[in-house]
């Protein structure tokens, strides 16, 4: 696998949690990635607006990324100040890195709804897609159209070729964590002062300092 591959991981990150970071680091080891860009979204189009501000989500990501030098915060989507669209992000990275393989990582919950994304059938023109296992989400949940589209692109990790075009389903440890549950947890535990296992310690301190999710 080429050492110059670029990995991208987009999300609302409201807040970033260890269900994002731990599988990403497993992938970095499996795929030998040296650089993973974490891209916080600008006003996600299909969902309620984040509770934390752009700056707070960015700061939490910067703190979480101190766990490993391969993790880089990338504020490109925030700076566009337009609703995030993965297809546009992938075109931008493809233009910026024309000769490097690009891997776009998402959770299985996102993969099985891919056919709701803008220009979804073109996503693999620009990048390989990598889906992280997530509890309660299975490939069989995809629509028949998406299932057929995926079937012709899925290949084994290490057998993908070229700069883009394949879909990969690596094995990583299941992380039964979601940002929604974490926001709920803070509302129910406003005085808890020990870092819970699902958050990075610096992110947990920041959430307290900023009085977020109360």
List of residues contacting ligand ATP (CB under 6 A): 11-14, 19-20, 23, 106-107, 109-110, 132, 134, 175, 177-180
Q: Report the Cα 185 to chain-centroid distance in Å.
A: 22
The CB-nearest residue to ligand ATP is 107
Query: How many C-beta atoms surround the C-beta of residue 79 within 10 A?
Result: 10
The two three-digit tokens of residue 18, written as one number: 């260890």
SS3 98: coil
Q: How far is CA 129 from CA 90, 184, 194, in A?
A: 11, 30, 36
Query: How many C-beta atoms surround the C-beta of residue 165 within 10 A?
Result: 16
CB nearer to ligand ATP: pick between 101 and 134: 134
> At its nearest, how many Å lie between ligand ATP and the CB of residue 12?
4
CB nearer to ligand ATP: pick between 2 and 186: 186
CB nearer to ligand ATP: pick between 10 and 101: 10
> At its nearest, how many Å lie between ligand ATP and the CB of residue 99?
26
CB nearer to ligand ATP: pick between 30 and 178: 178
> At its nearest, how many Å lie between ligand ATP and the CB of residue 175?
4
Q: Say if CB 98 and CB 61 are below 8 A apart.
A: no
Task: Give φ, ψ of 152 to 5 degrees.
Answer: -80, -5
> At its nearest, how many Å lie between ligand ATP and the CB of residue 110?
4
């Amino acid at each position: 696998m080429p050492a110059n591959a670029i990995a991208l991981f987009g999300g609302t990150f409201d807040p970033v949690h260890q269900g994002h970071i731990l599988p990403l680091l497993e992938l970095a080891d499996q795929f030998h990635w040296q650089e993973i860009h974490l891209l916080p979204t600008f006003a996600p189009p299909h969902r309620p607006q984040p509770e934390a501000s752009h700056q707070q989500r960015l700061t939490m990501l910067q703190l979480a990324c101190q766990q490993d030098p391969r993790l880089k915060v990338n504020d490109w989507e925030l700076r566009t100040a337009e609703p995030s669209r993965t297809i546009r992000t992938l075109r931008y990275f493809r233009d910026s890195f024309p000769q490097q393989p690009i891997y776009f990582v998402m959770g299985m919950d996102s993969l099985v709804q891919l056919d709701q994304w803008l220009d979804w059938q073109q996503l693999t023109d620009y990048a390989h897609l990598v889906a992280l296992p997530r509890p309660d989400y299975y490939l069989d949940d995809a629509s028949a159209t998406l299932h057929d589209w995926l079937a012709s692109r899925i290949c084994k990790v290490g057998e993908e070729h070229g700069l883009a075009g394949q879909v990969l389903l690596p094995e990583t440890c299941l992380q039964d964590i979601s940002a929604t549950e974490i926001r709920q947890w803070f509302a129910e535990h406003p005085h808890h002062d020990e870092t819970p296992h699902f958050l990075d310690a610096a992110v947990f301190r920041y959430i307290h300092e900023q009085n977020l999710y109360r």
